[in-house]
Amino acid sequence: MNYDDLVSKWKEYYEQMPGSKMFPELFKPITIRKVKIPNRIKYAATEDNFNKDGFVTEKDVAYIRERARGLVGGICTIQGVYMDPKGEGQGYVGQAAAWDDKFIPGLKKLADAIHEEGAIANIQLMHCGRVGGVKLPYCVGPSAVPQRLRVLKPVKEMTKEEIKTCIKQHGEAARRGIEAGYDIVEISGIVGYLISNFLSSYTNRRTDEYGGDIENRCRFMVEVIEEVRDAVGKDVPIFIRLCAEELLDEMGGNTPEESMVTYKMAEKAGVDCISVTQGWQESLHSVITRDIPQGHWLYNAKRARQHVKVPLSMAYRLFKPEMANKAIADGIIDIWELCRPLIADPYLPKKTLEGKLEDIRYCIACNLCLARLFRDAPITCAVNPLVGHEWEDRWKIKPAEKKKKVMVIGGGPAGLQCALVAAQKGHEVHLYEERNILGGQVVYASKGPYGEDELYGIIEWLKRQCEKAGVIFHMNTTVTPEIIEKEKPDTVVVATGVKFVVPKVPGSNLPHVVLGPDVLEGRGESGERVVVWGGRGDGIIAALYLATKGKKVTIITKDRKPGVDVNPSYIWRYMLKISQAGGRVYRFADIESIEEKRVIIKAAYGVRIPVPCDTVVVSLREPRNELVEAAKKLCSEVHVIGDALQPRRLHNAIHDGYRVGLRI
Is residue 254 a contact partner of residue 248, using CB atoms and an 8 Å limit? yes
- Strands 30-32 and 529-533 come out as unpaired
Pick the catalytic residue: 82, 182, 193, 444? 193
**Closest by CA position to 657, among listed 642, 644, 636:** 642
| 557: Cα within 13 Å, side-chain hemisphere | 21
What is the distance between the alpha carbons of residues 452 and 292, in angstroms, rounded to a whole number?
11
Which string of b and e fits 384-401 if b means at least 16 CB within 10 Å? bbbbbbbbeeeeebeeee
Cα separation, 416 vs 540, whole angstroms: 25
233: left (phi over 0), alpha (psi -120 to 50) or beta: left
The number of helix segments (H) and strand segments (E) in the chain equals 23, 27
DSSP designation for 357: G
The size of the chain, in residues, is 664
What is the rounded CA–CA span in Å between residue 423 and residue 426? 5
What distance in Å separates the CA atoms of residue 537 and residue 570, rounded to the nearest whole number? 10
**Separation in Å, CA 375 to CA 152, 195, 318, 588:** 11, 23, 26, 25
Pairwise CA distance, residues 213 & 233, whole Å: 31
3-state secondary structure of 595: coil
210 is catalytic: no
Which residues lie closer than 8 Å to 56 by C-beta, 6 or more apart?
Answer: 96, 103, 106, 107, 109, 110
Query: Hey, which residues are catalytic here?
Result: 193
